[in-house]
Amino acid sequence: MKELCTFLGPLRVNSKRKSQKTRKILELPKWKALRLVVLNHLVHHRAQLGVFLRLLDVPIPGMFGPSVDEK
C-alpha cells in the first residue's frame, strides 16, 4: 500500500490560469482526484438518463431502493 501511495503522490499545478476548483482537484493525490472525477461523471450521466426517461414517459427504475414511479 505504501508503494501505491508513493506512486500516486500528489499532483502539482504550475499554471496560474487554472480555476481555484481545478487547482484544488489537481493538488489532491491522484487516486482521490480520479475518484472524485469518475464519481461526478457517473452521477451526471445517471441523472441525465433519468431526465431522458422522464421526457419519454418511461418509468424510472429504482437504483437505491424503489423509485417514485414504482410506488
Structural domain total, the chain: 1
User: What whole-number distance in Å separates Cα of residue 8 and Cα of residue 3?
Assistant: 9
Helix, strand or coil for residue 29? strand
Determine the average pLDDT of the residues in 31-54.
Answer: 88
Q: What is the pLDDT of residue 6?
A: 65
User: In which domain, by residue range, is 34 found?
Assistant: 2-70
> In the numeric block, which cell numbers belong to residue 36?
472524485
Q: What is the pLDDT of residue 52?
A: 93
Q: What is the pLDDT of residue 5?
A: 58
> In the numeric block, which cell numbers belong to residue 63?
437504483
